[in-house]
Amino acid sequence: MGVISRMREVSPYLLAIFAVVFIAFMVATDADIQNILHLGENPATAVVGRVNGETIRYADFNERVQQQAEQQRKAAGDEATVDESGIRQSIWDIMVEEILLRQEAAKAAFSVSRNELLDILLDNPPDYMRQPFTDTAGRFHQERYIELVTQPDRLVDYIDPNSGVDPVEAVERWKRDLLRIEDFLRQNRTREHLRSLVSAIGSIVSPSYLRRQYVVENSFAEATYVAYSIDRIPDQDVAVTDTEVDSYYRKHRDAFRQKKPARKLKYVIFPLEPTAQDTATFRKRLERMRGELEHAAEAQRDSVFTLLMAEYQGRSYGLSSVASIDPQKAAHFGGKPVGAIVGPVEVMGKIYFFRVDRREPGDTTVVHASHILISSGTNKDSARAEAQKILQRARAGEDFAQLARLYSQDRGTAERGGDLGWFPRGRMVKPFEDAAFAATPGSIVGPVESPFGFHIIAVHARSSERIAYSEIELAVGLSTTSRNQIFREAYSFKQQVQQGIPLDTVARRLRRNPVETAFFERTTPVLGSRALTEFAFTNPVGSVSDPMELKPYGVIIAQIVDERKPGYKPLSDVRAEIVDKVRRIKKLDVLRAHVDSVYQRLRDADILARIVEIDPQVQVQTASMVKDNGFLQGYGNDPIVTTMIYQVPVGTIAPPIRGERAYFLVQVTKRDVPDPKKMESQQFVELYRRLYNTAKASAYYYWYNAVRDRAAIEDRRSKFYREF
């Protein structure tokens, strides 16, 4: 029997799955092949990146990108838009991780033997290998699977001589696929070994940490407190001098260390937006289409529409239930006879012409309905009465959609006038569904009770038909002429800046808004573009970029305006941050005198609440469950005060506590701190297991990030892709 028919016996998806998972899809991308050739590189051997000296070839990288893109297209439908930029980033991260793990595995003397891989492949094959050999009844044909995996040359026996498939090529391709699978499994196994090792080391929980965590988790305190926040003092009342800023910078200089080089850009955007001429062209096209359809004889309209379909890349859709058609489109042609042409009509900001191509009875009945929901809440009778009143108003002729906008508590549909679109049985809750399908189209029924409340239902139509239709979509688009003009303006802008005119001046002349970035490192894609980042780090300060088209912004012209080398950040970069810190310190200093004065008068009082006799404007707060975790009920985060609550004496008003943004007067009324020595064995085991699992889950993440930060990674993708 031929290979195709034999494989179809096993699974009708065999060839498709092999193609998607293992075979390169050499389709057109936005990879700039001309640019690669211009760089003097062969696309087959060009290098898209390096990780600690190990190369990532462009051909390998792009092949995996296309495989992933094709899988997404098949999953979402051929018409779906695939974000190749996001896929490229995902594949890049995966390939970098694979190389780093392989390098770390070599350092750790890990190895995955061929026998280990064969054990996985033969005894416990992954799902993507089992699926092509699993029939529709769910039976896995293990013998056939093992035969083709262990003896790939036997594939020849399944190839039909009349199928047109080259047996030699098919066998060689299958062998290559098996090698790729083996490599993939080796990488996975290596990752598992490393994860196990890192998790074992990183998840060690020391006894002292466990005891401390037990105390923190099982302690609680009750306290009353007053917070004197620095927000009481306006910023203008606290001056921060240059001397104070300089002093703070010198004392805390290590906090402002910059580990990696950084750059700063200034850029302008030339939006790729349709011009007035484009709008005028669109209107002429629309009037021409309308005129041709209106003036055509009835017998000729179909032919005219077909010609317009070809001219404007219209689309035809096969038979489908009205429930699966965009309701905003179906509203215009759903009730029209075969051959009817509708348009122009506006749907979601675009202009459409529709033609009904075919209708035929279907097996599934669908209903088009709207509803108004009154939630029952705690008073079901009241909700029912309100729904009854609205029902009477709707039946009396008031606009149902307006009533839904005013009264429906299903806010997701209320803005659409309660419109639920078309739906089959099984999509709505049963009481609602039963009422909707039993009602006569054009009627309003209810109130219908469901778990959500009471519904008033307007049934617009019921149908079991399937419809095939065609559409021509028109929208104001950017013409090639307009696009070229925008790029000419951008190039002119670049030339003026290169001639020495400040970028801000040129931008002001052209009424463009210049934007300056913060300092960024080489790993940061500016405006989502690694090409822009790469430009910033491969050119001197003052350089001006060529026009770059970046979605969704438009055409970008950028100039490198500053750079920072590794070392200490200059004071100018962190001045604003320091001013804020110094002002906060000085505000706390101002508060201290007042809080000390209040405390001296209050210290012998039996309860903190008497503070209102001394300082009537304060608010006494009660925290009934204080943990030593930095969070204070009624205030927010301040680890200093929660730590002190576990150190000051119980029952007395403690001396003022200086927090991060406030002074606190605190009286602890109750505190319970368990003795870790009395921890029961079961508690010990449960806490240890939880802390171990938490540490284990994060150990690999922290380890890998540290490995990646230390690695020498050269990213050259921007040289190969126009939009990156």
Give me the residues paired with residue 268 across strands.
557
Average confidence (pLDDT) over 686-708: 83
How far, in Å, are 49, 264, 494, 543 from residue 506 at the CA level?
37, 19, 9, 15
Residue 611 neighbours by CB under 8 Å, 6+ apart:
226, 598, 602, 605, 618, 620, 665
- DSSP tally for the chain: helices H, then strands E: 25, 21
pLDDT-derived band at 591 (thresholds 50, 70, 90) equals very high
Q: What is the pLDDT of residue 43?
A: 62
What integer is the mean pLDDT of 507-519?
Answer: 92
What is the rounded distance in angstroms from the CA atom of residue 430 to the CA atom of residue 428?
Answer: 6
User: In this predicted model, what pLDDT tens digit does every residue of 188-232 receive, in sequence order?
Assistant: 777 777 777 777 777 777 888 888 888 888 888 999 999 999 999
Report how far apart, in Å, the C-alpha atoms of 581 and of each of 237, 519, 573, 578, 664 are.
15, 21, 14, 5, 19
Whether the per-residue pLDDT at 661 is higher than 80: the answer is yes
The proportion of the chain whose per-residue pLDDT surpasses 70, expressed as a percent, equals 92
**Other CB atoms closer than 10 Å to residue 436's CB: what's the count?**
23
DSSP letters along 546-589, please?
PPEEETTTEEEEEEEEEEE-SEEPPHHHHHHHHHHHHHHHHHHH
* DSSP run (H or E) holding 222: strand 220-229
Q: Which residues contact 205 (CB under 8 A, 6 or more apart)?
A: 688, 691, 692, 695
Q: Is the pLDDT of residue 74 over 80?
A: no
User: Beta-carbon neighbour count of residue 619 at 10 Å?
Assistant: 10
pLDDT one-digit tens code per residue, 151-193: 888 887 777 777 777 888 888 888 888 888 877 787 777 777 7
pLDDT of residue 722: 60
Residue 17 has pLDDT above 50, yes or no: no
Amino acid occupying residue 451: P
Q: Where in the chain is the domain with CATH 3.10.50.40?
A: 260-273+479-565, 279-474
| 412-436 confidence digits (pLDDT tens) | 888 888 888 888 888 888 889 999 9
Q: Which pLDDT score, from 0 to 100, does residue 21 have?
A: 36
Domain over 279-474 is classified CATH 3.30.70.141? no
Nearest-angstrom CA–CA distance, 358 and 208: 77
Higher pLDDT pick, 40 / 431:
431
3.10.50.40, 3.30.70.330, 3.30.70.20, 2.60.40.1230: CATH of 260-273+479-565: 3.10.50.40
Instruction: Please state the three-class secondary structure of 235-257 as a single string.
Output: HHHCCCCHHHHHHHHHHCHHHHE
Q: Which pLDDT value is given to residue 453?
A: 87
**Residue 44's pLDDT band (cuts 50, 70, 90):** low
128-147 pLDDT, tens digit per residue, is 777 777 877 778 888 888 88
Strand, helix or coil for residue 98: helix
Q: How far apart are CA 449 and CA 453, in angstroms?
A: 6
* Least confident residue range of 69-78, 149-158, 378-387, 517-526: 69-78
pLDDT digits (tens, 9 = 90+) for 7-16: 333 333 333 3
